[in-house]
Structure 1
């Protein structure tokens, strides 16, 4: 083997160095975030051959531009018509309730990203799958015109079959049923399951399907959203996918803590708009914004809501930037729950600066994660947070999967976006923003309960840990922008 290498190395090494040269030039010319650039260069240094392979399959932006260029055009064309004809948006110069004045910059920023501010909404907070799915099934049972679903994970288990049977039942009743599942998140779905739904009248499509998900850059640009719209009147979004694991009924050993929301009102139109954009992108089928998709109705509630989406095709990193603005608007308290905490520098600065400005900041993350490298990367930030005065809690009852941000007592965000680079930059995400004391009070109550199921991290104990976990966390943090 050594002799073979000595024979071929004079030919292989020059080719390798040329390849490295062009890869490095390509990385530099992309002018992406310096942290991500440094991470890829470090990867090439530490893992010479494997680093090139990882970059070629996961790091390039060429595929991203080709895939999403047309989608951007669809967004612009349909988005303008949507704003002009379908949404009863509250003008920012109207008299706003005092609770919104503090967040006017957030409202204005989101409005620039096809996220109208609406006030005629009734919002219901749904804790865990055992509260979500009964409400979802009830709404679907009552559907008369259409049912639209868009999910990252749809699993072929008990709840998946129950949902499929109900969708087929409604399709046979003449209800138009459209379902988008992600090509990676729902990769486990069998061909027979697809055939069952399609033969039952459900229009089922995959978002960017892949044959070899471990060896394709398409694994980066996933549809991580969770959206249901029924008759344009009722909408659901949040962190809960269609899977048994989200229902704490004893079938799974791990308790799954998550948060979802049911919305009835004007804000549902934005969820509908987002679904139609993705349906048009996946199917190349034009759907006109007919009145049945955007119906007029008598206001049921008075909750103020904005729905915002982001993705690799969006001009703005709107969810990340809205988090930054919201945290900076805090006067008293910031509460954050997230399963994956790998923040960008701007988000980390906002959190630590708030804590150092005598604003009480509390963060709940899982004690155990479904990824050791993500867990280690997340924990690498704990010392910096503790030094700044942030109260960090490790959720110990099970897996904390809720994605919730609460500012003071009158603003909250619930959605699909984690507080990490992948959600901010690579995935298609959707979040709901609430400017309402009653809704926020309910979320605060749940947050306080979650704190009792968590361990408060003490600075002295954290500093006294052994060298190995600290080193592992520091190394994983270097790769944070790539996770």
Structure 2
């Protein structure tokens, strides 16, 4: 119905606009057929939607369809998954050796075996975990860890804001980069949406650090979907 109204209003008076949507419709049909070539029913469903609802179909695909950058993201994830599966398979094959000699998993053997079998949760040992229930304590420990870095700082965070906490983190990372410590940082594009990235992270880059933005928002408000975002909060020093 909405498409019929659109064509009745714009079909004659705005032929260039109509042609633009037609070309976009054709391009999306070709793109979807290529991206979903391993799933023909899905490809046919989207192509049918583009043909029957040429305007509404495009809008729906922008919000709910597979993102045009999704294949690239998932291809990298697939490579990592294969690597972890290979490690998990090797650990399963050597379970008796790990269980008997290497791992200190007394009292948790069955849980460890379950996680390894069910979810490819690979073993690591010589770990120490500190649980923080207070944000101030957590960031105090985070900043102390950054200050203690001698060789490298690798940080991956979803959100950083232009506030006291964010500016303190940037200043500290820039300071360590100036000292010769390798500083590599990656922040999510949606989590840094409200800041001027070149200006905000400029001090780190000028000091020799490397700052990257994960999954830049090429079309703001259309590709901010949460299941493509990087929600990790990791610091390695």
Tell me the TM-score range normalised by the shorter chain: 0.5 to 0.7
1:217, 1:51 → 2: CA distance?
A: 19
1:149–1:229 Cα contact (<8 Å) kept: yes
1:90–1:118 Cα contact (<8 Å) kept: no
User: Aligned in 2, Cα 1:227/1:6: closer, same or farther, shift over 3 Å?
Assistant: closer
Secondary structure (helix, strand or coil) at the match of 1:123 reads coil
1:7, 1:189 → 2: CA distance?
A: 38
Structure showing the higher helix proportion among its residues: 2
The alignment status of 1:123 with 2:129, answered yes or no, reads yes
Equivalent residue for 1:5, pick from 8, 28, 31: 8
**Counterpart in the other structure of 1:184:** 190
Structure 1 position 180, deviation (Å): 0.6
Equivalent residue for 1:194, pick from 191, 198, 201: 201
1:59–1:217 Cα contact (<8 Å) kept: no
Equivalent residue for 1:221, pick from 196, 204, 228: 228
**Pairwise CA RMSD:** 4.4
Equivalent residue for 1:105, pick from 106, 114, 124: 114
Equivalent residue for 1:203, pick from 183, 201, 210: 210
1:103, 1:179 → 2: CA distance?
A: 32
Equivalent residue for 1:64, pick from 63, 70, 74: 70
Normalised TM-score (structure 1):
0.35
User: Aligned in 2, Cα 1:69/1:100: closer, same or farther, shift over 3 Å?
Assistant: same
1:211, 1:55 → 2: CA distance?
A: 16
1:215, 1:28 → 2: CA distance?
A: 20
1:152–1:185 Cα contact (<8 Å) kept: yes
User: Aligned in 2, Cα 1:194/1:129: closer, same or farther, shift over 3 Å?
Assistant: same
| Runs of 5+ unmatched residues, structure 2 | none
Structure showing the higher strand proportion among its residues: 1
| Runs of 5+ unmatched residues, structure 1 | 231-483
**Residue-pair matches, total:** 205
Larger Rg: 2
Normalised TM-score (structure 2):
0.66
2:62–2:222 Cα contact (<8 Å) kept: no
User: Aligned in 2, Cα 1:7/1:179: closer, same or farther, shift over 3 Å?
Assistant: closer
1:155, 1:56 → 2: CA distance?
A: 27
The alignment status of 1:163 with 2:166, answered yes or no, reads no
User: Aligned in 2, Cα 1:140/1:217: closer, same or farther, shift over 3 Å?
Assistant: closer
1:152–1:224 Cα contact (<8 Å) kept: yes
5 Å-filtered alignment, 1:23-422, equals 31=39, 49-56=55-62, 58-60=64-66, 63-69=69-75, 72-73=78-79, 75=80, 79=83, 91-93=94-96, 94-95=99-100, 96-102=105-111, 104-111=113-120, 115-190=121-196, 191-216=198-223, 221-230=228-237
1:66, 1:217 → 2: CA distance?
A: 16
Structure 1 position 210, deviation (Å): 2.4
Structure 1 position 68, deviation (Å): 4.6
1:180–1:207 Cα contact (<8 Å) kept: yes
Structure 1 position 226, deviation (Å): 1.1
CA offsets 1:359-387 (integer angstroms, 9 cap, x no match): xxxxxxxxxxxxxxxxxxxxxxxxxxxxx
Structure 1 position 125, deviation (Å): 0.2
1:147, 1:195 → 2: CA distance?
A: 17
1:51, 1:179 → 2: CA distance?
A: 38
